[in-house]
Structure 1
Amino acid sequence: MAVQPEGTPCWADAMFTDIDGAKRFYGDVLGWDFGGAASEYGNYTEASVDGKAVAAVVPPMPGQEGQSQWCLYFSSPDAAATAAKIREHGGEVLMEPMEVGEFGTMCLAREPSGAVFGVWQPGTHEGFEAKGTPGAYCWAEVFTREPEKTDAFFTEVFPYTAKQMEDDAVDFRIFDVGDETVLGRMRMTDEFPPEVPSYINVYFTVDDCDEAVSKATGQGAVLRFGPVTTPFGRFAALTDPQGANFSVIDITTTEGEMPATRPV
């Protein structure tokens, strides 16, 4: 795939203390194959489906051990400029822009309500080589208790236009880059335990949501929500055996009409 427009999710990775366990789990649930670990880059290991790069796993550096979580990266033509915008609009830069060989430049940050994300300025590694196909990334949502802060931040840092879903039951907003919808934002309700911080939930595409859930829970994952069929697909939210949240979605199985939205 070509370099993605600024603000488009372009890559995802996660740190796992048990890398072999992560490989077994995601290999079974999502059909991932894994390349060799790049020792010069902290044993960063790329995952692929049908030879196309879809994500990566990496062991934590000494002193960084903790609960695993998926990190979503947004494309940027200039990571340093994006880092400056992040600071200017109330975010925190957790890792300054750093060149990763010829592959590109990365930066890690936290938006004002607490969700961690990455910025990727592509070099030879442009990001996802597949999207929306079984095993590949499909979608992401920011879960936050402070949507006003989150909404203002993302529309200032990235060239987003926003639309609000007209549904009294949920506070949900979507962000577009040009004509493409690239990100959702969900207000966290009281159903979320207070100790759960804001986070970005990534969705991976599967052929059969129920089968993927069965495989995941059979390997020790916790089913958090679903499976449920929506106008966007049949999906379920899971926590993997090492604590990382993610969702699986079958985008071919849909039900109901798309909800109305209004520009904001």
Structure 2
Amino acid sequence: MAAFAQSAPCWVDVQLPDLEAGKRFYGELFGWTFRAGEGPRADALGEGRLVAALAAKKDGRMPTAWGVYFATDDIEASVARVRAAGGQVITEPVPAGRAGVLAQAADPGGAVFGLWQAGERAGFQKQNEPGSFCWTEVHTRRKDRVDPFYEEVFGFRSADIADLVTDTPDTDETRIDFRTWSPPGTEPGPDTAVGGRSVITDAFPAELPSHFLSYFNVTDCDATARTVQRLGGRVTEPPLDIPYGRMAVLQDDQGAVFAVLQEPAS
């Protein structure tokens, strides 16, 4: 079992109204295969390695959404830090069989995330490869509260994106109010970043809540966007070039939002 560094994203899952429809959608989109998980869940596999999980919603009032989990070696201490830093604990630590212990929390802006203390399952067996998780970021309107929260809870060391793209002309992309997170004990910057924070501006609807957006690596961003549409999903942000490749924000055929990233050609 490969261990994850403290505070690193280690798992994603999606809550869906129709689990079987979700398996059809993501199976065709990313080439995933599935095996039965605990309860109304399915483990997603890419080339036989764990990449994510799909779950049937137990309550129709739950959001149809992708969720991300951060690794911790002491989930009780992490939960205590969430409370001390002004966050909310939604689900107290609970064992997930022998796989590990999970909890759910929300930051001061309302964005929900998970905590995972590994047992027999560390998390992803495949990441940063086509068809697997590669990045996550929180979108918030309350950066003044959220930035210190993640630094206190996870020990993240932060760097503003403007400091990271100094060789890039002054375009809209470089002016985005964006901050990257690097794990404790590392030098903050693009080589160590595991996630980040973006600000929701007034250009977005007021009802858009704070949320995490998780990205999956793909070989062809534009083709992936077309496939999502063919499968009944939507393109919410069309493919565009950013300093780290080509990305798009997409929505599956049940309403769960995710992003894809095509890395630049080497």
Q: Which residue of the partner structure matches residue 4 of structure 1?
A: 4
Identify which range, 136-145 or 242-251, moves more after superposition: 242-251
Q: CA deviation at 1:211?
A: 1.1
For the pair 1:169 / 2:175, whether they are aligned, the reply is: yes
Residue number among 125, 146, 163 corresponding to 2:142 in the alignment? 146
1:67·1:243 contact (CA, 8 Å) conserved in 2?
A: no
Number of equivalences = 250
- Say whether the 8 Å CA contact 1:161–1:176 is kept in structure 2: yes
Q: 1:117 aligns with which of 113, 120, 124?
A: 113
RMSD: 1.5
Shift of 1:139: 0.4
Equivalent position amino acid for 1:175 in 2: W
Q: Deviations over 1:111-147 (max 9, x none)?
A: 1101000000001100010111111100011100111
Letter in 1 for 2:175: A
Q: Which residue of 2 aligns with 1:47?
A: 44
Letter of the aligned partner of 1:102 in structure 2? Answer: R
Per the TM alignment, residue 209 of structure 1 is displaced from its structure 2 partner at its CA by: 0.8
Deviations 1:194-222, CA, capped at 9 Å, x for gaps = 11100000000111111111110111212
Contact 1:67-1:242 at 8 Å conserved across structures:
no
CA distance in 2: counterparts of 1:98 and 1:188, whole angstroms: 32
Q: Using structure 2 for the length normalisation, give the TM-score.
A: 0.90
- Which residue of 1 is the match for residue 57 of structure 2? 60
Matches within 5 A, 1:168-207: 169-177=175-183, 178-179=186-187, 180-207=192-219
Q: Whole-Å Cα distance in 1 between the matches of residues 83 and 152 of structure 2?
A: 11
CA distance in 1, matches of 2:60, 2:182: 34
2:253 to 241, 247, 259: 241
- The 2-side partners of 1:231 and 1:188 are apart by 19
Q: Which residue of 1 aligns with 2:71?
A: 75
Distance apart, 1:191 and its partner CA: 2.2
**1:253 CA drift (Å):** 4.0
How far the C-alpha of 1:34 sits from its partner, in A, is 0.7
Please, which runs of 5 or more residues in structure 2 have no aligned partner?
A: 163-169
Percent same amino acid at aligned positions? 37
Aligned to 2:165: none
CA distance in 2, matches of 1:213, 1:69: 18
Deviations 1:66-104 (CA, angstroms, capped at 9, x unpaired): 331111000000111101110111110100000111100
| Equivalent in 221, 225, 231 of residue 219 of structure 1 | 231
Alpha-carbon deviation of 1:65? 3.8
Q: TM-score, normalised by structure 1?
A: 0.91
How much does 1:64 deviate?
A: 4.9
1:64, 1:17 → 2: CA distance? 7
2:90 maps to a residue whose letter is L
